[in-house]
Amino acid sequence: MSTTNVAIKRALITGMTGSGGSYLAEYIVQNHPDVEVHGLGRWHSTSTADNLSEIRPRVTVHECDLMDFSSVLAALEKARPDAIFHLAAHANVRASFQTPLAVMNNNIMGTANLFEAVRSARLNPIFQLCSTSEVYGQVDPKDVPIREETPMRPSSPYAVSKVTQDLLGYAYFVAYKMPVIRTRMFAYLNPRRGDLFATSFARQVARIERGLQKELVHGNLESVRTIIDVRDAMRAYWDAALYCTPGEAYNIGGRTTMTVGQFLEMLKSLAKTPIPSRVDPALLRPADVTLQIPATEKFEKATGWKPRYSFEESVGFLLDHCRREVAREAAA
């Protein structure tokens, strides 16, 4: 593991009220209590502030929309972070085919506004840019496992927006010496994000167990994914800010590889009742990325990071969360 002189005293998380950002905020609060945690949130956001319910007294949320440069600049001047974790994005791949311009405009220009606000405020924080495995697109099997130098061939408007974010980060590193670290995260289990296949499946299983739904619907089950726990993923982001080299890109991913269909069968095996299922054509994407297996040696060598949660623990964590949510739904 490499060493670093980075001392993070004030961290800023974009999208902190969202699914991933809230888990990252929890990780920092619980494991680095001396760090001030600031975040950006929007009054009209589709996410819910309930994600922060357990840590709300220990974090500061700044009202801000990344599409509004003045609000971004004002938030940065208040928070004055020495580390920024940029998680905010429209991140639904399938929806990006239906609203491509909105997704690209939000993700690209929101990121550009954030970079420019950092420059305008004359700050020099470590900037951890959270990208995605979607940037690689459909990879030739001979290029698997996917390395950081694999060509980026995005196959959705969302992926195009993330490629652009990734390249913007590199450009600001080169042109303005901004210490930008780019991480390309592969699939992780995130109980708070309902549009991910794993969370959708688990929630449907919980609803069927309660008699609120008769059958589980799904899209393509043939895609291959390498999966980690959201808590491991957020710890990886923290480690990236501490130990990774600005200007570089790093793949982050787990060691459990399976098809989406195999994941569904595992959930069915853990269910308390039989789970009938069928394909829903509306859940199929116009273009799908079906093979996502990362080479993560570069990141692990730089940070010493390794997953702490087993796949079974992660699935249990996901299913328990969805059962609690559905229990509340049933009681309402």
Please give the model's pTM, rounded to 2 decimal places.
0.94
* DSSP three-state, residue 253: coil
How much is the pLDDT for 292?
A: 87
Q: Which amino acid is at 290?
A: T
Does 136 share its domain with 240?
Answer: yes
Does 28 share its domain with 167?
Answer: yes
Q: Is 170 exposed, middle or buried (0-12, 13-18, 19+ CB in 10 A)?
A: middle
Q: Which residues of the chain have pLDDT under 70?
A: 1-5, 43-49, 288-289
Q: What angle do CA 328, 330, 332 make, to 5 degrees?
A: 70
Report yes or no on 192 lying in a domain: no
Report yes or no on 298 lying in a domain: no
Report yes or no on 175 lying in a domain: yes
How much is the pLDDT for 66?
A: 97
- Indicate which CATH number applies to the domain containing 285: 3.90.25.10
Segment 246-256, tens digit of pLDDT = 999 999 999 89
The number of beta carbons lying within 10 Å of the beta carbon of residue 12 is 29
- Write down the H helix ranges in the chain: 19-31, 69-79, 93-98, 100-104, 110-120, 157-176, 197-209, 230-243, 260-270, 297-303, 311-331
Does 316 share its domain with 248?
Answer: no
Q: Which amino acid is at 165?
A: Q
Q: Is 190 exposed, middle or buried (0-12, 13-18, 19+ CB in 10 A)?
A: buried
Does 237 share its domain with 217?
Answer: no
Q: Structurally, how many domains does the chain consist of?
A: 2
Report yes or no on 128 lying in a domain: yes
Q: Which two tokens stand for residue 222?
A: 């043939």
Does 101 share its domain with 243?
Answer: yes
Q: Which domain holds residue 217?
A: 197-224+257-293+310-331
Does 67 share its domain with 136?
Answer: yes
Segment 41-52, tens digit of pLDDT = 876 655 555 899
How much is the pLDDT for 211?
A: 96
How much is the pLDDT for 224?
A: 87
Does 132 share its domain with 204?
Answer: no
Report yes or no on 303 lying in a domain: no
Does 122 share its domain with 209?
Answer: no
How much is the pLDDT for 283?
A: 82
CA distances from residue 62 to 76, 80, 166, 248, 253 in whole angstroms, order as listed: 9, 12, 25, 29, 31
Does 270 share its domain with 159?
Answer: no
